[in-house]
Amino acid sequence: MKNLSYIILTAVLLVFSGCTADFEDINTDKNRVTEGSYVPVYSLSRAQLEYSGNSDFSYDTWRVNIIYSAMMTQQLANASWYAGDKYIQNDAWANATFDVAYNDQVKYIVDLLKLTESDPLYANLHQIARINRVMIFHRLTDLYGDIPYFEAGLAFHEKNYTPKYDSQQDIYMDMLNELDEAAQALDPAGDVPGSGDLIYGNASDPIIQWRKFAYSMMLRLAMRMTEADPGAAQQWAERAVAGGVFESNADNAFINHDANGGRVTVNRNSNILSGEWNATNTGEVFLSKTFVDYLADNNDPRLGVFSRVLSSGDTDPANQIGLPNGLDQNGGEFDISTDPNFPGDITNYSTIREDVFLSLSGPTFVLNYAQVELLLAEAAQKGYSVGGTAAEHYDAGVTAAMEFLAQYNAIATIPAADITTYLAAHPYDAANGEAMIGAQYWVASFLDWYEVWSNWRRTGYPALIPVDYPSNATGGVIPRRMLYPSHEASNNPTNFAEAIERQGPNTFLTKVWWDAR
């Protein structure tokens, strides 16, 4: 949002104002929240901002979202030290989201839940906090599987410093129930969080938007279970549709960042890829050959929106060349010069269009309408009662995926005629439906590589060809989960050991519960 820096600064001032050392102040219980000393919605602001990547040096965004998820799913590639596309194990990279989320996301959202649970003044805020808690844990459990959930974030409130690890199946069932209960409890006539809500604070009816978000997130969770528990997946997907999911790109959930706040408020992907660390301009990060070729082979009008030749800035789709995954610059068998399409210099490969996607004040999308429609297409393909045909939802999803790019920057607007032409040339084919849907979901989730990787693991689409780089940790298999931090074995040994025994070894190849294809 426009005033993101102001919101965070105001939160700090509100918390620390009024510190005159008089008798009343000295004898006041500082642990008791009083009117004027704390504004609960700012815990929501902090949790949402941290979720979008606001951590020290962007470690979770850099390491798990970009280095691992984006590279493994072959939307990005590199020939430098970003070793994710080579499946090289780096424990600090793989556990970054685990450490960051519990310290900087779970803590704030649990605090908010505790402080609002019995206060009718914040009834809607409490329900929104429940929905945001699901948003946070959804990513965590998808990355790591069994994790501390029911007892997480309670160190201050209940002195629980060693929370048990819960099974992912139990976590999913509770998250679905939480979304359902919170959505039903939201009151359009009740309290409104205001600008401290970084996602829907400026919406004309934020309570209705949060209800749609809850049911749209429910649909995503339901479809994540299609291989592990098909019956429950159908039940919850149909319940989500009955509750009311996103209906257009106007419903998209995103946080607008602010370049004026430095590391506190800037867009994290942009800061890494184009800003402070400048990875797309220093020859560290390119678009993958897999991604570029998919768009080019299908005459996809998005290719010129996504890509530019690094050396020249050329955005002509005919001139884009993706870098194959799994290459290096060491002069051996895997050197980039072995690429049959090697353009003479690494800077002649294509990278992300900075002017479209990498503004420091640009949005971080949390959930978009295109994803919802494509999940509905898959649900319809499976025979679920979600209204409409698979073809109708597929067309709506592809259309939305092309149209919403303009929300990054108006220069990314794709003419309606081009979208119509594309759909006419690529009509939905039920016999190949799930593959078509999976590939389009892959493209529609660009930059949210956590989600790209999770949906790919569930569906297997698009069909990626793994690489087998020397000294990789998986024998040339694309990793299936991230790694718990080693300190969990010493700080929470009993519960950590139980999780390992139940789920499997703490390796890249141990699958999470829903990864049952």
pLDDT of residue 37: 52
Taking residues 377-400, report their average pLDDT.
98
Q: Does pLDDT of 75 surpass 70? A: yes
Cα 457 from Cα 4, distance rounded (Å): 35
> Exposure of 24 by Cβ count < 10 A (0-12 exposed, 13-18 middle, 19+ buried)?
exposed
Write out pLDDT tens, residues 239-274: 999 999 999 999 999 999 999 988 889 999 999 999
pLDDT of residue 57: 59
Q: Does pLDDT of 296 surpass 60? A: yes
Write out pLDDT tens, residues 112-134: 999 999 999 999 999 999 999 99
Contact between 404 and 447 under an 8 Å Cβ cutoff? The reply is no
| Lowest mean per-residue pLDDT among 31-35, 200-204, 434-438, 446-450 | 31-35
Q: What percent of the chain has pLDDT over 90?
A: 90
Distance linking the first and last C-alpha atoms of the chain: 40
Q: Could you please report the per-residue DSSP string of 311-372? A: TT----GGG--PBPTT-BSSSSTTBGGGSTT--SSGGGSEEE-HHHH--TT-EEEEE-HHHH
pLDDT of residue 308: 98
pLDDT of residue 55: 64
For all residues of the chain together, what is the average pLDDT?
92
| Lowest mean per-residue pLDDT among 56-60, 295-299, 489-493 | 56-60
Q: Which residues contact 158 (CB under 8 A, 6 or more apart)?
A: none
Taking residues 147-156, report their average pLDDT.
95
pLDDT of residue 264: 87
Strand residue runs (E) in 80-212: 147-148, 165-166
Tokens of 173: 């069932």
Cα 152 from Cα 165, distance rounded (Å): 9
245-259 core/surface letters (b: 16 or more CB in 10 A; e: else): bbeebebbbbbbbbb
Cα 54 from Cα 406, distance rounded (Å): 24
The alpha carbon torsion through 252, 255, 260, 265 (nearest 10 deg) reads -160
pLDDT of residue 263: 83
Q: Return the HEC string of 214-241.
A: HHHHHHHHHHHCCCCCHHHHHHHHHHHH
Cα 378 from Cα 394, distance rounded (Å): 8
pLDDT of residue 455: 98
Q: How confident is the model at residue 275 (pLDDT cuts 50, 70, 90)?
A: very high
Contact between 339 and 327 under an 8 Å Cβ cutoff? The reply is yes
Taking residues 343-365, report their average pLDDT.
98
Cα 242 from Cα 196, distance rounded (Å): 30
Locate the domains of the chain by residue range. Answer: 281-357
Tokens of 240: 């989500």
pLDDT of residue 56: 58
pLDDT of residue 430: 98
Write out pLDDT tens, residues 189-231: 999 999 999 999 999 999 999 999 999 999 999 999 999 999 9
| Lowest mean per-residue pLDDT among 31-35, 66-70, 236-240 | 31-35
Instruction: Centre a 10 Å sphere on the Cβ of residue 39 and count the other Cβ atoms it contains.
Output: 17
Rounded to two decimals, what is the model's pTM?
Answer: 0.93
Tokens of 34: 């009083």
Give ∠ CA 167-169-174 in degrees, rounded to 5: 100
Write out pLDDT tens, residues 5-53: 544 444 433 332 333 333 233 333 333 334 445 689 999 999 999 999 9
Per-residue CA distances from 380 to 47, 226, 252, 372 (Å): 35, 13, 22, 12
Q: Does pLDDT of 290 surpass 70? A: yes
pLDDT of residue 22: 37
Per-residue CA distances from 214 to 91, 122, 129, 232 (Å): 33, 18, 11, 17
pLDDT of residue 270: 96
pLDDT of residue 423: 98
Taking residues 458-479, report their average pLDDT.
98
